[in-house]
Amino acid sequence: MITRILRQKAMRGPLPGRPTARAAGSVEHQAMLASRLTARDKWLLALLHEHRVLTTVQIQDAAFPSDRSARQRLRDLYLWRAVSRFQPFQQLGSAPMHYVLGPAGAAVLAAEHGLEVKDLGYRHDRAMAIAHNQRLAHTIGVNDFFTSLIAHSRHIRIAERLVVWWSEARCARHFGDLVIPDGYGRWHTATHAGSPDREVEWFLEFDTGTESLTKVGRKLAGYARLAESTGIATPVLVWLPTSRREAGARTALARVHAQLDAPHTVPVATAAADLLDPTAPYPSPAEPVWLPLTSSRTTRATGPRYHLAELTDAWPGLAPPADAADPAAGDGGDAPAAAPYRLPPPSPIPPRATPNRIARGDH
């Protein structure tokens, strides 16, 4: 041993119990998963199918009480090939593990809806291709925006919750001929007895600082056309990385907003990530960081910033969301027969874990 030193990694064996890709699609493997997958596991599989990729931290924020429980369960799902994972290269430190839908997980989702895996449009190589996609950081940023809202409602304010979360791909199928938002959300606030509950919906434009500010501003024209065609004024929330970037973006946005034929049909508000409280246990866009945009070319902040739940106060004439029902329930119903079946969007609210599962440390 002294003359033949082994590296530590050479002593590592393969992960125990992980079936081959072929075995993961077998009847026996699916029968095993039927006895082990919980409602929350299946919810997570649907979330990965909808939003492509989630990090360990995002999954913990969305559904688990602790980092330890999230890692333990994700390891089980990985060993069962319900999920797949990768770790992107990072110059300093190490990136968190990123998870995508695995072949066994896709088989479970398809079986739940009485379909074949091919009917979902799923391919494992395409799912893993996000690891090399130039928009990986953008996709992770958008998903972080929404999962932090879920964490806020789970741990800070139970009366507030994210009730709808659409991916960019789903938004593209619905509105892609006019505009492609980075996401769509709906935030519900339960009020005191005797008062009606409040709800605000929005399209998200997530800026990473790589696009020109002129291009950011031009997107409002697409939202104006969408409002004209649907007759619905839906707020557009623009999330930016820094306050300095936000100031420049507000100038560009105000220039385009003032030139719209009906500016009131495109309510806009901006916020910056560096406005979040770094000492908060669960910082999120639900905090008072939103500054509405007016048609005036004067974009300097002159009023207070709003909580996400209070944005309806910034636009008194804004009609509430049409209804609480899922507007995408029939998504894909009119698609050609050869097109993949479109699953309904999963609820952003995770199923509750049973007490005995928590006691055992599985979740």
Domain coordinates in residue numbering, the chain? 14-133, 135-321
Contacts of 200 (CB under 8 A, 6+ apart): 186, 187, 235, 308, 309, 311, 312, 321
Question: What are the pLDDT digits (tens) for 51-97?
Answer: 999 999 999 999 999 999 999 999 999 999 999 999 999 888 889 99
Output the average pLDDT for the chain: 86
Instruction: Compute how many other C-beta atoms are within 10 angstroms of the C-beta atom of residue 226.
Output: 22
> pTM (2 decimals)?
0.87
User: With 60 as the cut, is the pLDDT of residue 4 above it?
Assistant: no
Q: Would you state the structure tokens that stand for residue 234, as one six-digit string?
A: 């839906």
What CATH code is assigned to 14-133? 1.10.10.10
What percentage of the chain has pLDDT greater than the value 90? 69
User: With 60 as the cut, is the pLDDT of residue 335 above it?
Assistant: no
Instruction: Name the burial class of residue 221, with classes exposed (0-12), middle (13-18) and buried (19+) by CB atoms within 10 angstroms of its CB.
Output: middle
User: With 50 as the cut, is the pLDDT of residue 363 above it?
Assistant: no
d(CA 320, CA 354): 35
What percentage of the chain has pLDDT greater than the value 70? 84
Decide if 62 contacts 51 (C-beta within 8 A): no
Contacts of 355 (CB under 8 A, 6+ apart): none
Question: What are the pLDDT digits (tens) for 151-204?
Answer: 999 988 778 999 999 999 999 999 999 999 999 999 999 887 667 788 999 999
d(CA 33, CA 264): 52
Decide if 216 contacts 241 (C-beta within 8 A): no
CA-atom Rg of the chain in angstroms: 22
Contacts of 102 (CB under 8 A, 6+ apart): 24, 77, 78, 81, 82, 83, 84, 124, 127
Q: Span 256-270, mean pLDDT?
A: 95
Q: Would you state the structure tokens that stand for residue 328, as one six-digit string?
A: 């995408």
Q: Would you state the structure tokens that stand for residue 268, as one six-digit string?
A: 């806009």
Decide if 185 contacts 170 (C-beta within 8 A): no
Q: Span 30-41, mean pLDDT?
A: 94
